[in-house]
Amino acid sequence: METIKITEIKWDEYPRSEHSQQQVDLYRSAVDNLPPIVVSKSMMGVDGYHRCQAYRQEGRTEIDAEIIDIPDEEVLVEAIRRNATHGLQLTNADKRRLGAQLYPHLDIDAISTLLSVHKNSVLSWTKDKREEERKEEDRIIWDMWLACETLADVGKQVGQDESTISKRILNLQKSVEIQVLDPLKMYNIWQFQSCDKSLGIDYPGRIPGQIVEHLLYYYTEPFDVVWDLFGGGGVTVDACKRHARRYRVFDIDPVRDDMLQHDATEGMPKLTLKPKLIFLDPPYWKQKQGDYGNEPTNLANMDADVFHNTLEKIIKEGLKIAEYVAVIISPTQYDWTFKDHAAEMITRVGVPHHRISVPYSTEVHGGNYVKMAKENKQWLYLNRDLMIYRGTKM
């Protein structure tokens, strides 16, 4: 036991919403015969608030205290436990407030025992928190499942077995709302004046996420698996989340936590879940040279022949495992000479199942380029080709 200054004591974890002046007055009449209060080593008050107030109102500046070794985060529970054995008991309102406050740090049974109340009361007090907890669990389960995580990994994250996770995913599939594309592009020209800012992050060569949304609509169904081997700023991740498609998005140098590292020149990723659709938005040869990193296997850093050979190989390998491989590419204007990469792929891979024009906005070419084009009697390209090849059926 030690004598400590009253001003040093912190009653931050006092379990009652308000104190009883009647109890304080009772203690004031016997202030010299009161047992010591209890505090933690950090001077958090654990037991004896009314005794402390009696001392203070009697003009005392010091009080006898038992100092116990207890972490601050356990002070409230210890204060409640000690209150149950002596002194002024907690009101029903205090128990209701504390029951909600203690969950989920303590489980329902532990709270029921600590507060000496029926389990059903605790279930009622914690209903809102438990519903929020379940919604957060559902969000985690859904996000991980869409990201093609295993049932075992999902279960480990939320502390449930694989069978329970499987049932919850089935329920989530039934309840999910699939967003409708509006307006829907009905012709073979998909032009968008700007990027949907909610799809992907700022990144060199960022395409409008609406292009990916339309690919998902026309070539996949909800819960199908989609791969993107040139993930960039994560446009495909966000589009798949919005439209309930499962995804694996890769990049040679990923910039987001929901993307995986993979060099597309090394072949297809070795994963058990095969895709319905593989989307390829590679560098358009020298158009962004150096912007995506300095790796020699980065398509933006290759010679033209190596670039075409590499892209051909990636498309053909994708067609062995996916029903569709979609590649978006534009010609490259270099020293007023055009490299028609789409024509090269048609020559090497074949005529695509579908071919869609996805033009740039005219804003892609700044005023200086327009001026130079006029002076050199040249024209500037706006077109990109989106070619959808059909491969094996899943």
Q: What is the DSSP string of 159-199?
A: T--HHHHHHHHHHHHHHPPPPPPSSPP-SSB---SS--TTS
31/164 same-domain check: no
58/158 same-domain check: no
CATH number of the domain that residue 331 is part of: 3.40.50.150
> Domain range for residue 36?
2-89
Domain count within the chain: 3
Question: In what side-by-side order are the strands of the sheet with 45-47?
Answer: 2-5, 62-68, 37-40, 45-47
Give the model's pLDDT for residue 220: 98
Which residues make Cβ contacts (< 8 Å) with residue 76, sequence separation at least 6? 13, 15, 98, 101, 102
Between CA 338 and CA 310 the distance in angstroms is 19
**Per-residue pLDDT band at 206 (split at 50, 70, 90):** confident
43/162 same-domain check: no
H helix or E strand, kind and range, residue 27: helix 21-28
78/137 same-domain check: no
Q: Which two tokens stand for residue 135?
A: 């919604």
Give the model's pLDDT for residue 161: 96
Tell me, yes or no, whether 180 lies in a domain. no
245/156 same-domain check: no
Using one digit for the tens of pLDDT, what is the confidence trace for 152-187?
999 999 999 999 999 999 999 999 988 889 899 999
Closest by Cα among 131, 133, 109, 132 to 121: 109
226/367 same-domain check: yes
369/313 same-domain check: yes
Instruction: Say what the pTM is.
Output: 0.80
264/365 same-domain check: yes
Using one digit for the tens of pLDDT, what is the confidence trace for 98-150?
999 999 999 999 999 999 999 999 999 999 999 999 999 999 999 999 999 99
157/230 same-domain check: no
Tell me, yes or no, whether 121 lies in a domain. no
Contact 330, 343 (CB under 8 A): no
377/259 same-domain check: yes
